[in-house]
Amino acid sequence: MTQHKVTFLPHEKSISVEPGTQLIRAAMDSGVHINASCGGEGVCGKCRVILESGEVEGGVSEMLSAEDKEKGYRLACLAKIESDLTIRIPTDSFIDARVLNLQATARKTARIRELNLDDLKEKGLFVPPVEKIYMELPPPSDADNIADVSRLVDFLRKNHDEHRLEFDLSVIRKVPDVLRQEDFKVTVTIARPVREDGKNRVVNIQPGDTSERNYALAVDIGTTTVYGELIDIKTGEILTRYGDFNAQISYGEDVISRIVYSEKAGGLEKLNERVLSTINTVIGKLFKKSKIDPEEVSTITFAGNTTMTQLFLKVNARYLRRSPYVPASIMYPPFLASEAGLDLPSHVTALVYPQVSSYVGGDIVSGTMGSGMYNDEEITLYIDIGTNAEVVIGNKDWMVCAACSAGPAFEGGGIKLGMRATEGAIEDFSIDPLTLEPMNVTIGNVRPKGICGSGLIIIVATMFEMGILDNRGKFNRNLDTDRIREKDDVYEYVLAWADVSGTDRDIVINEIDIENLIRAKGAIYSGCLTLLAEVGLSIGNIDRIILAGGFGSYVDLEKAMTIGLLPEIDLEKVIFVGNGSLMGARMSALTNRIRRDVTRTIKRITNFELSETQSFMDNYIAALFLPHTELNHFPKLKARLDERRKHMDEMPDSRDGGIK
């Protein structure tokens, strides 16, 4: 698609965006601050900009006078970019202009890594786990009346070099009629063995030629959400995706409360029934959306954390939450999907990703497989941030992992006005370093209702870098703004006043929120340090970071490093894989190589219980600062802070900022 170039003045910053992009988002992405309180709904009228050249759609409201409009004023939150533009941000004073380069840096999200089937083929990693073969068999006669199954076996052996064949009972039941339905022209579906010495299982037989229609399902069973994909095994194409909330959620938001419920009489059965009903809903939607016949699906792969996996398989989860935190099993055998209660034809085989420990589950294993990390030379730090955070470090030769008790801060938990990344959540933010006025952008461009995880990181990082917060996460008490105030003995910053908020209350972030965020990021960072120390390495040895989890797609990488959530490495070396769990499930559905390699990989992963690891507590306490007690770990941030301090010192009437 054609991109439009937008230039912001007086900053002289430019950005290329897609047609229809909102002006305020283009400004935010370029690191240009525009005062804006109402999240983008157009009610506060603060985000006035001057359209110097080009065309926008909208951008006018009753908040602008006829004269303003004539002068080219537009509301940045309501204006959609329709051509190349030059936009001037009004500045009230000379000083304003001087601090422009103290403003936020441009957004830097991670590169997205997409599965590439051609790559797989090139590397010899594409070994379809299920193949279809069309055959025209000679019909039986008096002189040749061998059993129907023997006829198939003989033909496959002679004409298709297929050996070690084994027929499922459900297939044998179909064979006599299906063979005679289209005059002994049939398509058989063969499931390949994971181990080379295994058998080739014939899992389906269909009349006529259906060999072009060969599909697989991949499902990520998340604590909050269940995502599914329908995949064409022949092309590797994802035909459709669908996600739905895990219906277990009414029995508790996190895994612990689910386990507690599962221990009640009938609880395990109830939770099992609920997650099955969600999965069946997701599968049903996938078939409906794609118009694919369920009969054409041969295999389904699941990935989920250890608790979700055990509840899905109806395996007692009680001991997962009791010291010494023992899962029932690492590996599970393949099983028939229909027997597990899934609405799928009787021939569909189900596979579940193996677990590492009670808190590093199949979702993480799936991510390390699907991202290719398990097979790379590079030392990779894999981080999946969800309700909790799991960290894996290693390469094709070794891996160490741990679950970090980060808590749900990144999903809005433990934050006074925290919320999930849904409509009304402040997801992006900047602040005017002089007036301390905010620029809030919300999901859906509606009045702000709260703060989501990625927004929280941006707010805290921005305020810290501006000197509004100190390295303990406390507000500078000397700043001259009514937005920072003490309420109920806690200092807070008002992001949006009640009159422009979506809740009729002031939208605030307070020091307790920030403390919780620091604990969360401290748990993750110290988890990484502890794992590195256990294998005799340090941050400098990390070649690459892979971010997984929905959260990872929105997080501003530089901001995440500013608060000390991620170690500071070259941003180009950070890769985002999105739902790593689903990605691995998809890969396993596409190539047997993954299915085989995972059993080897799982044996190479060493799990650490951080609470049992001597050095963890020291690392954790050192990480309870912004970004860390060791600022030397963050050389780029240190340089930026030094630069800012120099600017502030040079300013004629510079205020006593938090960083002095």
Nearest to 203 by CA among 342, 331, 335, 293: 335
Is the four-CA dihedral 57, 63, 64, 66 of positive or negative sign? positive
SS3 of 16-84: the string is EECCCCEHHHHHHHHCCCCCECCCCCCCCCCCEEEEEECCEEECCCCCCCHHHHHCCEEECCCEEECCC
Place of tokens 């912001």: 8
Nearer to a second copy, 6 or 152 (CB): 152
CB 168 to a second copy: min, Å = 7
Nearer to a second copy, 167 or 429 (CB): 167
The count of other CB atoms within 10 Å of the CB of residue 378 is 13
Nearer to a second copy, 61 or 338 (CB): 338
CB 306 to a second copy: min, Å = 9
CB 18 to a second copy: min, Å = 48
Nearer to a second copy, 22 or 307 (CB): 307
CB 139 to a second copy: min, Å = 9
Tell me if the bond preceding 438 is cis, omega within 30° of 0: no
CB 582 to a second copy: min, Å = 23
User: Residues 6 or more apart from 118 whose CB is under 8 A from it?
Assistant: none
Query: How far apart, in Å, are the Cα atoms of 639 and each of 32, 102, 310, 474, 642?
Result: 21, 13, 48, 22, 5
Nearer to a second copy, 263 or 642 (CB): 263
Are 374 and 116 in contact by the 8 Å Cβ rule? The answer is no
Nearer to a second copy, 72 or 139 (CB): 139
CB 147 to a second copy: min, Å = 5
> Residue 521 corresponds to which tokens in the numbers above?
């990021």
CB 643 to a second copy: min, Å = 48
Nearer to a second copy, 325 or 497 (CB): 325
CB 274 to a second copy: min, Å = 18
CB 656 to a second copy: min, Å = 50
Helix, strand or coil for residue 608?
Answer: coil
Nearer to a second copy, 169 or 265 (CB): 169
> Residue 423 corresponds to which tokens in the numbers above?
């409509």
- Enclosing H/E stretch for 241: strand 238-245
Alpha-carbon gap, residue 638 to 564, rounded angstroms: 12
Nearer to a second copy, 332 or 576 (CB): 332
User: Residues 6 or more apart from 171 whose CB is under 8 A from it?
Assistant: 202, 203, 204, 205, 347
Long-range own/partner contacts, residues 195-201 (CB < 8 A, 24 or more apart): 195/596, 198/164, 199/164, 199/165, 199/166, 200/162, 200/163, 200/164, 200/165, 200/166, 201/165, 201/166, 201/167, 201/168, 201/349
Between strands 507-510 and 544-548, the pairing is unpaired
CB 214 to a second copy: min, Å = 23
Nearer to a second copy, 124 or 324 (CB): 324
DSSP structure class, residue 242: E
CB 609 to a second copy: min, Å = 7
Nearer to a second copy, 187 or 355 (CB): 355
Nearer to a second copy, 65 or 615 (CB): 615
Region of residue 291 (left: phi > 0; alpha: psi -120 to 50; beta: else): left
Alpha-carbon gap, residue 316 to 21, rounded angstroms: 50
Nearer to a second copy, 202 or 590 (CB): 202
Alpha-carbon gap, residue 448 to 43, rounded angstroms: 11
Nearest to 579 by CA among 624, 535, 531, 547: 547
CB 173 to a second copy: min, Å = 5
Nearest to 466 by CA among 437, 490, 492, 489: 437
CB 351 to a second copy: min, Å = 12
Region of residue 287 (left: phi > 0; alpha: psi -120 to 50; beta: else): alpha
User: Residues 6 or more apart from 162 whose CB is under 8 A from it?
Assistant: 133, 156, 190, 200
User: Residues 6 or more apart from 371 whose CB is under 8 A from it?
Assistant: 113, 380, 382, 546, 548, 575, 577, 580, 583, 584
Residues interacting with a second copy, by CB under 8 A? 140-150, 166-169, 172-173, 175-177, 180, 197, 313-316, 318-319, 323-333, 335, 339, 355, 357-358, 609, 612
Nearer to a second copy, 454 or 530 (CB): 530
CB 581 to a second copy: min, Å = 19
CB 587 to a second copy: min, Å = 23
Place of tokens 């590169």: 111
Nearer to a second copy, 159 or 316 (CB): 316
Beta-bridge partners for 111:
575
Nearer to a second copy, 181 or 224 (CB): 181
CB 310 to a second copy: min, Å = 9
Q: What is the CA radius of gyration of the chain?
A: 28
Is the four-CA dihedral 224, 319, 583, 379 of positive or negative sign? positive
Alpha-carbon gap, residue 294 to 105, rounded angstroms: 49
